[in-house]
Amino acid sequence: MNIEKRRKIFSLLKKNNPNPSTELIYNSPFELLIAVILSAQATDISVNKSTIKLFSTANTAEKISLLSIIKLESLIKNIGLFRTKAKNIHKTSEIINQKYFGEIPQDREGLENLPGVGRKTANVILNTIFKKPVIAVDTHIFRLSNRIKLAPGKTPLAVELKLTKLIPNEFLVDAHHLLILHGRYVCKAKNPDCNNCVINKLCEYKNKILVI
């Protein structure tokens, strides 16, 4: 796939969704960080149900660090791996409260040193909060990049590095959410909705339904 085709693909995705954003509900950078930690192997819908309860009880690093682990677990128990996530969130809150005075780190190293925060989570925060041109490759972006031959790769990191290199610069900040939302609602894992796909004529998915 050449650069002009990629530019056309992102132009169409951007035209179709001018202001792409996360579907996680949050009111502060710290809340988004906690929501993203919870989102590992969980849907945004289930995370939002949990964070409504959690953030109404404690929504700052100081307040969460003062909760008991048992209380924290009870607030997020509908989320998979809730016990491990509770421990990570509690420790992360303590670090942010004590080391960063309640504010989340603004750099990758600082973010990835927090319990429960890996490269993907760090990229979500760097992109969504700090508007950095980075891409967090989740299952949707990984599938989409390989399926339509946008940036084929065998691992999420390989896909991330290719996307960052190959996506035209003017679309890099929005690319993360443009691709996630397209993969979530149109280019789905099963039965991709090719007839309602704005990039149908440009993608290189071999089994797509051609729009005439």
Q: Who contacts 167 (Cβ-Cβ below 8 Å, separation ≥6)?
A: 6, 10, 135, 151, 175
pLDDT at 127 over 60: yes
pLDDT at 179 over 80: yes
Q: Which residues are catalytically annotated?
A: 120, 138
Q: What is the pLDDT of residue 164?
A: 95
Percentage of residues in the chain having pLDDT higher than 70? 97
* pTM of this structure: 0.91
pLDDT at 76 over 60: yes
User: What span, in angstroms and rounded, lies between the C-alpha atoms of 74 and 51?
Assistant: 12
Q: What is the pLDDT of residue 3?
A: 86
pLDDT at 101 over 60: yes
Mean pLDDT of the chain: 94
- In 5-116, beta strands by DSSP E: none
Secondary structure class of 67 (helix, strand, coil): coil
In the predicted model, what is the mean pLDDT of residues 43-70?
96
Q: What is the pLDDT of residue 208?
A: 65
Q: What is the pLDDT of residue 35?
A: 97
187 phi/psi in degrees, rounded to 5 = -85, 60
Domains of the chain are 3-20+134-196 (1.10.1670.10), 29-128 (1.10.340.30)
Q: Which residue has the tokens 């003017």?
A: 170
Q: What is the pLDDT of residue 34?
A: 98
- In the chain, beta strands by DSSP E: none
86 phi/psi in degrees, rounded to 5 = -60, -45
Burial 127-143 (b: 16+ CB within 10 A, else e): bbbeebebbbbbebbbb
Q: What is the pLDDT of residue 209?
A: 60
pLDDT at 68 over 70: yes
